[in-house]
A and B are shown apart, each in its own frame.
With several copies, the nearest count.
Chain A
């Protein structure tokens, strides 16, 4: 072990004591796309004790350009990202305990998961989940690290309950969709830069060097050669419903959550049935096959070609409709198959 981690033990900010602390910690990471791949790899290589990964997607060809844990074989096998990530992370460091959860990070799931978690890494692709992370963070007093990017533009901010402003202080409401990934695309250096900031903050928190934690909000543009460090002293909002005195944690209430979502940057609608539960993919595959559809599957999901659209159905009843951004249309396709 000492040889393996010798170069970071040599770094004065970590040392032998810091390495032991990293080893004793549990990190919850929401998302295993671009930011999740990179943050997960940094923490696994650094020797974190436990890493819990939550992701609802499977690996697609368009991910390979920037999502560093995945290969062409994962695409061919349509592996869920959480499962593919775990496979690669175990090959990198077999000492780290990896919990892979294939599913949507709902409020109730997050409240269940955070019990013994030390920090939360944001690697999601939407503000709704981030607001839920933010409320969970405040309610259970667990620091989290916001990170996001589009095009050559990215940002990061460390949120420590009781100390810094929270994401809801800054946004007040969930920003309208469609501003970003659909139109902006993404290059992988931007992802790397956000990962650098998030994972450095994560290491500081894991070794409990709270004085080193960044208090500014960083944003940058790698193509335009900009870097801004924003002082956040005046950002805390006393009336904040997530961290203020009269807090209600609005994003922990499932009733406030959307049931159908256009996935950011993708021509895809996600459908979450109001009641989730195990469905028989095998039986469904048989039915659809006899209907003449081209169906491929594995134990986690079923992929069905439907003209210009393609539906991927997970075994909890959730589905992704590729080839549309129309929520109603997507729901219609879904209901045609699953009732």
Chain B
């Protein structure tokens, strides 16, 4: 099982602070695609992904128990 966390407006789009999903074996890219299909989320191309508080590339494979977080860079200033 994996905990998938969302920050900022992604959280509002998903409606939850986090989801419990079983996504072990999938890549980050696959998870992003799945989420974009199942939730009213914007494209996640430019959203940063963390696996266990470490930056992860799109081709990283998720392990069971990994905590995944989606951190959208914002442009305000």
Binding site for B on A (CB under 8 A): 31, 33-36, 122-127, 130, 147-151, 153-155, 165, 170-181, 183-184, 186, 194, 217, 219, 221, 224, 226, 228-235, 237, 264-265, 280, 339
Contacts and interface: CB of A to CB of B under 8 A. Distances in A.
Given A173-B46, A176-B43, A183-B9, A150 B55 contact: no
Interface of B: 7-9, 17, 42-43, 45-46, 48, 50, 53-57, 60, 69, 71-77
B73 A230 contact: no
Main secondary structure of the interface of B (DSSP, over half): loop
Nearest to B43: A176
Contacts, number: 127
Contact of A33 (B17, B48, B69, B77): B77
Contact of A234 (B54, B71, B75): B54
B9 A148 contact: no
A31 B55 CA distance: 28
B75 A125 contact: yes
A34 B46 CA distance: 24
B43 to A, nearest CB: 7
Contact of B9 (A125, A176, A179, A264): A179
A130 B60 CA distance: 27
Contacts of B72: 175, 178-179
Nearest to A152: B8
A149 B8 CA distance: 10
Given A179-B74, A228-B69, A153 B46 contact: no
Nearest to B48: A170
B45 A172 contact: yes
A264 B76 contact: yes
A126 B8 CA distance: 17
Given A170-B48, A230-B48, A150 B76 contact: yes
B77 A233 contact: no
A265 B76 contact: yes
A193 to B, nearest CB: 13
A190 to B, nearest CB: 9
Nearest to A167: B73
Contact of A232 (B9, B42, B45, B55): B55
Contacts of B69: 228
Contact of B7 (A149, A180, A221, A235): A221
Contact of B76 (A174, A184, A237): A184
Given A231-B53, A235-B55, A178 B43 contact: no
B75 A34 contact: no
A125 B50 contact: no
Contacts of B77: 31, 33-36, 122-125, 147-149, 181, 194
B60 to A, nearest CB: 8
A171 B46 contact: yes
Contacts of B53: 228-231
Given A124-B77, A127-B75, A178-B73, A226 B7 contact: yes
12 contacts: A31-B77, A148-B74, A151-B8, A155-B74, A165-B55, A228-B7, A230-B50, A230-B71, A233-B55, A234-B54, A237-B57, A264-B76
